[in-house]
Structure 1
Amino acid sequence: MTFQHDHSSDPSTDFPGRNGPTATAEADPREAGPVRTSYAPDRDGAPDPGEIVWTWVPFEENDGRGKDRPVLVVAREREGTLLAVQLSSKQHERDHEWVALGAGPWDSSGRASWVDLDRVLRVHEDGMRREACALDRDRFDLVVVRLRERYGWS
């Protein structure tokens, strides 16, 4: 049996979005100012609303650990940052509200994914590792409608 080391929590391994001014951070969705969600994917290598991108996501404990994972970009902020929600291939039974996305090209194993509506992240353009794909409009709208209801976004 072969075990692979998971470098995602290893502080000696650097990932875009992990450290410095372009670090991915949790955002307070109710204090983000006026948030205008939009569907604007553009395969240009930069993160855009409607796209799933890979970035470093800190664990909720905020203890320096985290994981390189896919996030769905839902809005662009005036400052040039983006708001996103994290994806997971595990259906969670915790207190968080999750929206089922199903499977897509962001997961090379073809596993179904869920989006965590309770945890909004602020992502920097230079803090992402790669652009994975554009989510189709119907699934994007499903997530955004729930975010708008929950946080009063437009």
Structure 2
Amino acid sequence: MIKVCDVVCPDKRQAFLNVSLSRNTVADRACDLATNLHEQLMEKAKDFIAFSLAVDESSDTSDNAQLSVFIRGVDSDLCVTEETLGLKSMHGTTTEKEIFEEVSKCVTQMRLPWDKLVGLTTDGAPAMCGQKSGLVAGIREKMQGENCAESRQ
């Protein structure tokens, strides 16, 4: 960076020398950015009139299951927000119950009301879309427990 600075903007050399790039500083900055993005999404989510979720489970290079949860929300001005809601490493077996619990945690942490959930997209895995068990069945049961309209399921 300093060599580039010497060529591109030599008058700013000292400013570049003052930037700390230690492992802890970079990690702290990454955490600060993630926290800020989460807070921004929470603020936007307060205004959602409806939202949908997309959930996918895949394996990483170490053969560990990774659960990805994405959200698409729309506010009263029809402004659409799409973001990653959660990414969870699942160790061992990934049962229908564990998947539902992680998705439910994501929704709860974002303080999203279940009655505003209008859609759910999953991969075709049985743990996701089983009729009597699975993520879809768990969300259907949760929505019934929350007295959400039957037509939205």
Q: TM-score band, normalised by the shorter chain?
A: under 0.3
Is the helix fraction higher in 1 or 2? Answer: 2
Q: Which has the higher contact order (CA 8 A, sep 6+)?
A: 1
Is the strand fraction higher in 1 or 2? Answer: 1
TM-score (norm 2): 0.27
Structure number with bigger Rg: 2
TM-score (norm 1): 0.26
